[in-house]
Amino acid sequence: MTVTSVHDPSHREALWELEDAFERGDLISVFGRCTVSYEGRAASDLGAGDRLLVLKPDGAALVHTDEGRQPVNWQPPGSEHHAAVREGRLRVRSTRSDPDETLTVRFDRVHQLSAMAVTGGRNLTLHGSEEDLRTRVLERPELVEPGFEPKETERPSSAGPMDVFGVDADGTPVVVELKRRRVGPDAVGQLARYVRALREEIAAEDGDDGGDTPVVRGVLVAPSVTDRARGRLADRGFGHVALDPTSEE
């Protein structure tokens, strides 16, 4: 494996290394004193600090500080990386057009730049994945509730594909959202969007002109939920089933 690493490069030297690494399709890490700005669905700025920028060949960009495992700023795969020297600083941008977003990192000084041809990580075998959880629900639907009957997986909707769609013992439509780990309020919001989309779909099919809202139930299947998530489930009338993808129960 080829690895390129430079210590305390000038901005121009760092630019040359970045351009070559972009051309090769390398995974790149840049550590240095920088500011970070984001423009898109919102806007944010980080003042000067020593941070790690990771640029992946699939377009992902991650900005890490000395705290936590999550990046403080990031761009998803499918973005495009660009570098330039502007106003005496190295500027690295990661952009995408759908939606229109730009992450800009401006380095006052680059302490370390490395570029590596990373391979072999795309065939990861997951144990205890959401797919395992889906398989358990399909093989033993009574784990969701007695009488539950799965009808379809990845059912399309205006809010995206539902993990599992089915009906309960009374024939009421049920949307089941699967999560392999402990989750918070965001998962409840996601389930709510699917339930709302299905209600609107059923109303349109029935020619409902504003009468009674169709009944659609929502069930979140996850090992555990936070207190805030539990409260929001109760507020919306959704259920929670504590189920671990690796459990034999």
**32-86: per-residue pLDDT in tens?**
999 999 998 788 999 999 999 999 988 899 999 998 889 999 999 889 999 999 9
pLDDT band at 248 (very low <50, low <70, confident <90, very high): low
pLDDT at 231 (0 to 100):
93
pLDDT at 58 (0 to 100):
86
**110-136: per-residue pLDDT in tens?**
999 999 988 765 555 545 688 889 999
pLDDT at 181 (0 to 100):
85
Greater model confidence, 97 or 220: 220
pLDDT at 127 (0 to 100):
56
pLDDT at 184 (0 to 100):
86
Contact, 19 vs 115, CB < 8 A?
no
CA–CA dist 128, 130 (Å, integer):
7
Please spell the DSSP secondary structure of 158-188, one letter per residue. Answer: TT--EEEEEE-TT--EEEEEE-SS-B-HHHH
Other Cβ atoms within 10 Å of 7 Cβ, number: 9
Greater model confidence, 92 or 228: 92
Closest of 117, 127, 228, 215 to residue 170, by C-alpha: 215
pLDDT at 190 (0 to 100):
93
pLDDT band at 247 (very low <50, low <70, confident <90, very high): low
Closest of 12, 14, 1 to residue 113, by C-alpha: 14
Domains and CATH numbers, the chain: 3-116 (2.70.180.20), 130-242 (3.40.1350.10)
**154-183: per-residue pLDDT in tens?**
999 999 999 999 999 999 999 999 998 888
Rounded to the nearest integer, the mean pLDDT of the chain is: 90
The model's pTM is 0.52
